[in-house]
Amino acid sequence: MNKLEYTISAWPINGLPATLAERTRRVYDRLAPVYSISTNLFHSRAHRRALEICDLADGMRVLEVATGSGEMFRRLVRTNPSGSTLGVDLSPKMARRTQHRVQSEFPACMTQCHAVDARHMPFRDAAFDSVFCCYMLELLSGEDIARTIGEFRRVLRRRGQLVLVLIGQKTPAFNALYRVAGKVAPAFWGRQVEERVPELVEASDFHIERDAQVRQTFYPSRVLVARKNGD
Ligand SMILES: C[S@@+](CC[C@H](N)C(=O)[O-])C[C@H]1O[C@@H](n2cnc3c(N)ncnc32)[C@H](O)[C@@H]1O
């Protein structure tokens, strides 16, 4: 076991089973018709902040991993109208909703959304200039987080940017509530990983360039913009 694997194996799991992707897929499939309510209430401010502090320019090849019902995805397409914007989500119903919505809103844009597991993505190496992923790493085991960050690195071009949004961990009362929610419905809530992910990102050959905290109502988020190091 190398140092990184050892660090991950020591992460607190708060009752999260090692593999629960199948349950996560079912839960998010069921919630697809109403999930946008939660995104608009708790995630939209962090989405906007991520777009403000990253280096997204029109004409880029952009991937969003875990689109959910597509609120951030539509922002990305709007900012990148003459580039290509691809989305993936584990839940086929989330991916289908996002695909329908984006195709009717932006018929002239190059954009697609498919049901894909972030842990093994069907894209060639260095296919993207930017990868975005908001509020998904919480739902993966430590090992899967490391594997998925490895996938982000693989599909990004040299010096490409990775933009992550994580649930913040700086508010003890919120953390206590989250621990309870995560025990009750682990496949939906997962557990907080914000304090540990930066170390893992840097150990995976990225350099964190920007780091911002956002609060929407009582819900804290952390936005990280990391650059893939040159080979
Ligand atoms: C908390 S929601 C976040 C949705 C959206 N990114 C947002 O900011 O509102 C988590 C999303 O991650 C997706 N997801 C969970 N595990 C995944 C995986 N292994 N691969 C791809 N998507 C995954 C779920 O289906 C769900 O849509």
Look at residue 33 in the predicted model and tell me its pLDDT.
94
CA–CA gap between residue 37 and residue 81 (Å, rounded): 26
pLDDT in tens, 130-173: 999 999 999 999 999 999 999 999 999 999 999 999 999 999 99
Q: Which domains does the chain show, CATH number per domain?
A: 3-228 (3.40.50.150)
Residue 228 has pLDDT above 70, yes or no: yes
Residue 6 has pLDDT above 90, yes or no: no
* Ligand 1 atom at minimal distance to the Cα of residue 28: 25
Look at residue 231 in the predicted model and tell me its pLDDT.
60
CA–CA gap between residue 83 and residue 35 (Å, rounded): 27
Three-class secondary structure of residue 133 per DSSP: strand
CA of 30 to the centre of ligand 1 (A): 13
Residue 200 pLDDT class (50, 70, 90 cuts):
very high
Look at residue 18 in the predicted model and tell me its pLDDT.
46
Which residue, judged by its Cα, is nearest atom 4 of ligand 1? 68
Q: In what order do the strands lie in the sheet with 128-134?
A: 110-115, 84-89, 61-65, 128-134, 156-167, 219-228, 206-216
> What pTM does this model have?
0.92
Look at residue 20 in the predicted model and tell me its pLDDT.
81
Give the tokens for residue 58: 């029109």
Instruction: List, chain by chain if needed, residues with CB within 6 Å of any ligand 1 atom.
Output: 21, 24, 28, 39, 43, 65-66, 68, 72, 88-91, 94, 117-119, 134-136, 139
Q: Which mutation among 23, 139, 152, 189 tests ligand 1's pocket best, with the greatest number of atoms within 8 A of CB?
A: 139
Which residue, judged by its Cα, is nearest atom 8 of ligand 1? 134
Identify the helix (H) or strand (E) that includes residue 5: helix 3-9
